[in-house]
Chain A
């Protein structure tokens, strides 16, 4: 399917101007029928009708409405001004500027004039709840491939810490659903209690190290949003859930180095929640928490030259336990293709 070519802002400004002139005309007709003229909105840089069409955006130009609550007010202000639109304005919702909505907007304009000034929020008959579309998404993922190198660290083990380096290759079936394959390589270090328990309580902890893991993951994005940094720059982000199934390998760290360890192949379902911040059309930064769940086998406590001396014997008599390995992940995602086209009007 050939993607639709989006009109430029200049085209848009002309179109809006034409619509605005039509609104002025229809308003004039309405005046002839006896309705009282509405005062021109004063807030939001409304330059008034007519010539305001050109400049009006001196203040309103480039405005990005964060709060839908004022969206109705702003929409009415623009409509009331007749053409208070600047070429730099990011249009929130075309429906707000429909001629058919003008009457409702005008009815709300008196109240909205007060609303846009500093002061208490006043509920208007046109609620912000009526507005379900904010702006079009600044980042599309559908039919794009994500290459996500990441590093991770253990969050919930006070004996042994694992750091991993890994990567994920994900394909986005829709803008909210993806399937991917991940792999991780683990390195470990021992935490303070590992040594302290041995010295203070004279007990050698039984721990396993993890060597590698891989998984098939599914990602779902239910939450997206945007935020302003220091009241200046807007950054969009999203939060997504992950669920998957995979395999991994753990290895017993022998309490006594005289005895050999053994490895276990683990079936590892995983669940997680992540946040992604959009830095460019081809680059995002991701933070996430992932819980890998599995049943691991640990070195038996009664190991000696007479008992469980070999790896096979120890593995056969190993103690099993259910493990939640919670990891914090941070990574960059590179998106292919590096750009995208919108296929619908904003």
Chain B
């Protein structure tokens, strides 16, 4: 009984093998174009039955954000990112962050050496003058479009397998800047300009930027760039790590930048604000809605 079965098995295997080779050759011939052999894989998608972790889903991300390598004030805060994924690759979103400010090491070191009340002839600012000219960013955010060209999965310690994707964002940034220099500190009412005086004489500018208003508050609109990674902890939860660049006009020190002896924000008389990049690192937890995912064919 065994022998005929084995012979039949081997015979069928041989026939099947020949058929396989023949069909494989046919496939190869069919895929030859212009005398060049091409692999069938070239026309295939990279991944089948892929979980569509972002397509047509709404992403809500509470997040933490901190500035990177700030000059005078660290900006640390929390906020929310709302994003809708139009497809598997493109999405639109907004982000808003409320922050508080912390002195950088530079500010602390400079403050330690500044006098409380410098002499009238000194050009050193007082501690109060230096501090009150610095501005902060209590609110900032952006509206953007996002592209997610890379997705994949990783193995950590050969035991945890998680999906991830990389994304890049570009859009419009906005920021609310705040500085508070009281009139008894910023005493100059006409920085950089002369005032009419008695007998057709004019009062020249004092050429002392220390007592000029900082002129570095208000709302700003600029450019936004970002790049980050989603690490999916489940079908609807993802760790969201991002580096963001909010670029807008700013004068963080509130002092004379262009060395014209006064602090100004006029394009004609002199503007100490300049286009600066404000780098932030953000970490958040993305909640994807709906919580269930679909698959590609």
A residues bordering B, Cβ < 8 Å?
10, 13-14, 17-18, 21-22, 25, 43-44, 51, 53-55, 58, 61-70, 73-74, 83, 87-88, 115-121, 132, 134, 155-159, 192-193, 196-197, 199-203, 205, 222-235, 237, 239
Contact B20–A62 (Cβ < 8 Å): no
Contact A222–B157 (Cβ < 8 Å): yes
B16 at the interface (CB under 8 A from A): yes
One of A17, A73, A224 near B155 (C-beta < 8 A):
A224
From A74, which residue of chain B is reached at the shortest CB distance?
B49
Known contacts A17-B20, A62-B44, A197-B106; is-contact A225 B292 (Cβ 8 Å) = no
Report how far A196 CA is from B254 CA in the complex, Å. Answer: 11
Contact B152–A197 (Cβ < 8 Å): no
Report how far A192 CA is from B258 CA in the complex, Å. Answer: 12
Known contacts A53-B16, A121-B235; is-contact A196 B296 (Cβ 8 Å) = no
Contact A66–B153 (Cβ < 8 Å): yes
One of B12, B20, B153 near A225 (C-beta < 8 A):
B153
From A54, which residue of chain B is reached at the shortest CB distance?
B23
Task: Return 10 A-B CB contacts under 8 Å, by A number.
Answer: A54-B20, A70-B48, A116-B49, A117-B297, A121-B292, A158-B106, A196-B257, A202-B123, A203-B113, A237-B154
Report how far A64 CA is from B296 CA in the complex, Å. Answer: 14
B-chain residues with CB within 8 Å of residue A203 when the two chains form the complex: 110, 113-114
Contact B9–A22 (Cβ < 8 Å): yes
Closest approach, in angstroms, between the C-beta of A336 and any C-beta of chain B? 26
B161 at the interface (CB under 8 A from A): yes
One of A21, A87, A88, A117 near B13 (C-beta < 8 A):
A21
Contact B164–A227 (Cβ < 8 Å): yes
B-chain residues with CB within 8 Å of residue A67 when the two chains form the complex: 47, 49-51, 153, 163
Closest approach, in angstroms, between the C-beta of A35 and any C-beta of chain B? 20
A-chain residues with CB within 8 Å of residue B163 when the two chains form the complex: 67
A-chain residues with CB within 8 Å of residue B47 when the two chains form the complex: 64-67, 228, 231, 234
Contact A201–B114 (Cβ < 8 Å): yes
B-chain residues with CB within 8 Å of residue A44 when the two chains form the complex: 48-49
Closest 8 CB pairs of A and B: A227-B152, A225-B154, A70-B49, A62-B41, A200-B255, A228-B46, A66-B47, A54-B23
